[in-house]
A and B are shown apart, each in its own frame.
Chain A
Amino acid sequence: MEYLIGIQGPDFVLVAADNVAASSILQMKHDYDKMFKLSEKILLLCVGEAGDTVQFAEYIQKNVQLYKMRNGYELSPSAAANFTRKNLADYLRSRTPYHVNLLLAGYDDADGPGLYYMDHLSSLAKAPFAAHGYGAFLTLSILDQHYRPDLTREEAVDLLKKCIEELNKRFILNLPSFTVRLIDKEGIHDLETLTSGAK
């Protein structure tokens, strides 16, 4: 139902998420933002079970900010990803596991851009491109075919548009609009919301 996608370039990460907040068969909101800003250069995209997403993502968000307040410097994307994974893993075998699928995208001043894929079983993988949701089945092959490590920003946005076109063509559910953001050494930038579906 929900869709997340991330594409890493040589000096940026492009991420997009759909804007639908659903409850059974209804779209309750058409402009829901699934991205959580962990720090100036890290975004956490979170989908999954209704309350778990916000609870878990806000918990991680506040803890990352607390780390910065206590220690005077921010967690790197790699450290934040591992911290998130550890929390997911700790709750996995408790009586209240969090059923969430995540993408963490960030830019480290030392290591450059990074995209981390995490799922509800708390696996973690650093990947050049990744997607979550049923839409991932339709779009990962497109990413496999057209992705190159030296993509420019425009080419990455074009690749994203190709993926969304495919969703509109073949995916049974209507995902009319997507929030798109780009992270580079200057920080997080909002790009134009991609709207498609019935024009």
Chain B
Amino acid sequence: MALEDICGFTDTPVHAKWFPTSLFEDSISSIHLTDNCTFGLRKPKKSEGNGGIPMDFFIPTLPNSASFNHRPLPSPPAKYSAMVRRPFPLSHGTTTLGFVFQGGVIAAADTRASITPIHSHLVVTSSGSGADCMLWERILAREIRLYQLRHRRRLSICGTAKLLSFMLHPFKGTEVCVALTLCGWDKGVTAATNSGPKLIYVCSDGARLQGDVFSVGSGSPYAYGVLDRELRWCLSKEEAISLAREAVFRATHRDAYSGNNVDLFHITAQGWIGYMYYYRTGALFLCCL
């Protein structure tokens, strides 16, 4: 996707046709986010330079499904219908959770959800539509890497969450269904209050909440039931890991849409470590420091 910026694709008239800014009246398009560094030198490519062949033929398929199909959005806009669309409120078939304690941040999920590292100090648990989550995690990873290259510092977790929330906003009311929990550690941020463990929930409805404990998915009420009773700031690392596993296990037991095994990540100032538990016995599977 970075190729499209280097090729100057974003300045072509075809790009304007495929991603008309009128679609996103109230906020910035996710593609235009990467335009920060144009120096005003690029000009739209005219088809004359290609021997008269229209630019359409050279354009590769693009992942942005909202404008790809050019289907007219259902009218009246799904904004109102989004509130009554589903017959039951919980429709993400997973259980994910994250919490902050004295030893850092724990992120845990059943293996149907996934936990993806974005960089050495940020891990994202995803629920909702699997395809949407994979795409948006990839877009997020691209954008924060570009930020890091341009500004020579890593974007804070709060900034990452805000960026993701603003990128998702144009797709509110469409079928995009993404509920991510960003679990990370802010290092080297100048404001004293801003560094340390962070846990932020972002979803495609537009919610963006920072907190100390979140559980997302159809199994989340069951997980909250276990977490709310036992969670304390002063837990040791082993107690915290065991609590997270217990909560996910109880949720997978009761919830029809969650299951399999528990994936767990622990994020500290040194980075994240992943644990994959099979058959409820501990097994250190992979780690990154």
Residues of A at under 8 Å CB distance from B? 21, 23-26, 28-29, 32, 49-52, 54-55, 59, 91, 94-99
Question: Are B221 and A96 touching (Cβ within 8 A)?
Answer: no
Q: Within 8 Å of chain A (Cβ to Cβ): is B13?
A: no
Would you give the shortest CB distance from B76 to chain A, in whole angstroms? 9
- Determine the chain A residues whose CB is within 8 A of the CB of B224 once the complex forms: 26
Segment from B37-45, B113-121, B199-207, B256-264 that makes contact with A? B199-207
Would you give the shortest CB distance from A19 to chain B, in whole angstroms? 12
Would you give the shortest CB distance from A63 to chain B, in whole angstroms? 13
How far does the alpha carbon of A52 sit from the alpha carbon of B207 in the complex, in Å?
8
- Determine the chain A residues whose CB is within 8 A of the CB of B205 once the complex forms: 49-51
Do A28 and B214 form a contact, CB below 8 Å, given A21-B207, A96-B173?
yes
Q: Within 8 Å of chain A (Cβ to Cβ): is B211?
A: yes
- Determine the chain A residues whose CB is within 8 A of the CB of B172 once the complex forms: 51-52, 96
Please give the number of chain B residues whose Cβ is less than 8 angstroms from any Cβ of chain A in the complex: 29
Give 26 pairs: A residue, B residue, CB < 8 Å, sorted on A: A21-B207, A23-B203, A24-B89, A25-B221, A26-B221, A28-B214, A29-B209, A49-B79, A49-B82, A51-B168, A51-B203, A51-B206, A52-B206, A55-B26, A55-B169, A59-B26, A91-B26, A94-B25, A95-B25, A96-B26, A96-B77, A96-B173, A97-B79, A97-B80, A99-B79, A99-B83
Work out how many contacts link A and B, with CB atoms closer than 8 A: 71
Q: Within 8 Å of chain A (Cβ to Cβ): is B142?
A: no
Closest to A54 in B: B208
- Determine the chain B residues whose CB is within 8 A of the CB of A24 once the complex forms: 89-90
Question: Are B169 and A95 touching (Cβ within 8 A)?
Answer: no
What per-residue 1/0 map shows which CB atoms of B211-245 lie under 8 Å from chain A? 10010000011001000000000000000000000
How far does the alpha carbon of A59 sit from the alpha carbon of B166 in the complex, in Å?
12
- Determine the chain A residues whose CB is within 8 A of the CB of B203 once the complex forms: 23, 50-51
- Determine the chain A residues whose CB is within 8 A of the CB of B201 once the complex forms: 28
Closest to A94 in B: B25
Question: Are B89 and A21 touching (Cβ within 8 A)?
Answer: no
- Determine the chain B residues whose CB is within 8 A of the CB of A28 once the complex forms: 201, 207, 209, 211, 214
Closest to A24 in B: B89
- Determine the chain B residues whose CB is within 8 A of the CB of A21 once the complex forms: 207, 209
Q: Within 8 Å of chain A (Cβ to Cβ): is B165?
A: yes
Instruction: Please name 9 further chain A to chain B contacts, defined as beta carbons within 8 Å, in addition to the given A21-B207, A49-B82, A99-B79, sorted by A numbering.
Output: A25-B90, A25-B221, A28-B211, A52-B206, A94-B25, A94-B26, A95-B25, A96-B25, A99-B83
